[in-house]
Amino acid sequence: MHINLVDRDQYATSGPPHEQLRWLRANEPVYRHEGEPAFWAVTRYEDVVHVSRHSELFSSHRRLALFDEVPQEQVELQRLMMLNQDPPEHSRRRSLVNRGFTPRTIGALEQHIRDICDDLLDKSSGEVDFVTEVAAPLPLYVICELLGAPVEDRDKIFNWSNRMIGAQDPDYAASPEEGGAAAAEVYAYANQLAAQRRAAPRDDIVTKLLQPSESGETLDESEFDLFVLLLVVAGNETTRNAASGGMLALFEHPEQWERLVADPSLAHTAADEIVRWVSPVNLFRRTATADLTLGGQEIKADDKVVVFYSSANRDTSVFPDAEVFDIGRDPNPHIGFGGGGAHFCLGNHLAKLELRILFEQLARRYPRLRQTGEARRLRSNFINGIKELPVSLS
């Protein structure tokens, strides 16, 4: 079988190459993939979890966590971001940021998220693009709430995120320079927020993160700016694409939509199944820190190792009927938020809360919701995204 797991045109046309991934899991679960440079493709659940939980062997810091190669000067700059750090530095930074994502903080957002969903659905009656009218605004509103930023800023945040993530998509067509300019605009925005909160503290995540921890540690200016950048991208893209991908999955499996309409409380398990099925983040890159063996393959120090969550989440050794979309699936040990370890998604509880409330409200309010046009996918091998999904909310 011809294997190319990173062909962006394939993702734009039909999403992750599940047929290739299925063959690799069965035949060569750790596969030497051609490329510049060549890399090891890790496709089986057990191996993806192993890589995720052993930062000492598979580093995010050496050559960063994103797939594409970047110039050395960019490596040095991006190493300041939590996404591209290893313990113990990552652990220190994460412990400071965790203060803004406690179960109490997230739980307090439930009614507000419900109000946001109702407001969005009130405004979106008739024929609309589900992505731009519902799936994208929801996490943007929530990010504005977390940051204590004006709701009017959501359009700026949406634009910044698209320019940083969509460099390989013709609709966004942002050059690396434009992506860098968007990041610079986020830094300036973060600095402005920080200055406002130092002058007038509020009960929001920005104020919490600018205050010293119990041990007296604080995030410095660059650390805070990079956290806001990570929140703008990770807090937006994953929920947006899980919501739009989940809606498409429900259209493609109408019997599951009927189950949800009949019992909207299934939205609780549906949120996890949507994340498993969609795997909004398709892959991450690690770099081997030593010669080692994985999946029967001899991997050398500094080899590029890429984990594919979209593959691990359909591993039949873990998920019975893995190719079946089942909104009642329980248990559901998916790794759509990462395979555990240092980089397990900080906002996983928030993302699931947003998805649960959104699909519960959709099922209650629009039981005859239907797709009215073709879904258009993002040209990206990193984010498994939907750019457009025409629907009728009636």
The stretches of 42-130 forming alpha helices (DSSP H) are 45-53, 72-78, 89-97, 103-107, 110-123, 130
Whether residue 217 is predicted with pLDDT greater than 80 in this model: the reply is yes
Q: 54: domain range?
A: 8-393
pLDDT of 120 > 90? The answer is yes
Report pLDDT digits (tens) over 35-63: 999 999 999 999 999 999 999 999 999 99
The mean per-residue pLDDT over the stretch 258-270 comes to: 98
- Mean local confidence (pLDDT), 136-160: 87
Band of residue 162 on the pLDDT scale cut at 50, 70, 90? confident
Contact 319, 298 (CB under 8 A): no
Residues 309/336, Cβ–Cβ less than 8 Å:
yes
- The verdict on residue 120 lying in a domain is yes
Characterize 94-111 residue by residue with b for buried, 16 or more Cβ atoms within 10 angstroms of its Cβ, and e for exposed. bebbeebbeeebbeebee
Give the tens place of pLDDT for each residue, 225-242.
888 888 888 888 889 999
Domain of 355, CATH number, reads: 1.10.630.10
Phi first, then psi: what are they for 374, rounded to 5°? -75, 140
Question: For position 360, what pLDDT does the model report?
Answer: 98
Q: What share of the chain is helix, strand, coil (3-state, %, to 5)?
A: 55, 10, 35
Other residues' Cβ atoms within 10 Å of the Cβ of residue 292: 16
Q: For residue 203, give both structure tokens.
A: 């009960």
C-alpha–C-alpha distance, residues 242 and 336, integer Å: 10
Cα separation of 34 and 2, whole Å? 11
Please name the amino acid found at residue 196.
Answer: Q
- Overall domain count for the chain: 1
- If you average pLDDT over residues 137-143, what whole number do you get? 91
The answer to whether position 165 is within a domain reads yes
Residue 101 has what pLDDT? 82
In the 3-class helix/strand/coil scheme, how is 141-195 assigned residue by residue? HHHHHHHCCCHHHHHHHHHHHHHHHCCCCCCCCCCHHHHHHHHHHHHHHHHHHHH
- What pLDDT does residue 226 have? 83
Strands 39-42 and 304-308, bridge-based pairing: parallel
Structure tokens that stand for 304 in this block: 């590029």
Please give the share of the chain, as a percent, with pLDDT higher than 90: 69
Task: Please report whether residue 1 resides in a domain.
Answer: no
Which stretch of DSSP H or E encloses residue 377?
strand 376-377
Query: In angstroms, rounded to a whole number, what is the distance separating the alpha carbons of residues 343 and 22?
Result: 25
Model confidence at 173, in pLDDT bands (50, 70, 90)? low
Rounded to whole angstroms, how far apart are CA atoms 83 and 61? 9
- Find where tokens 């993002």 sit: 378
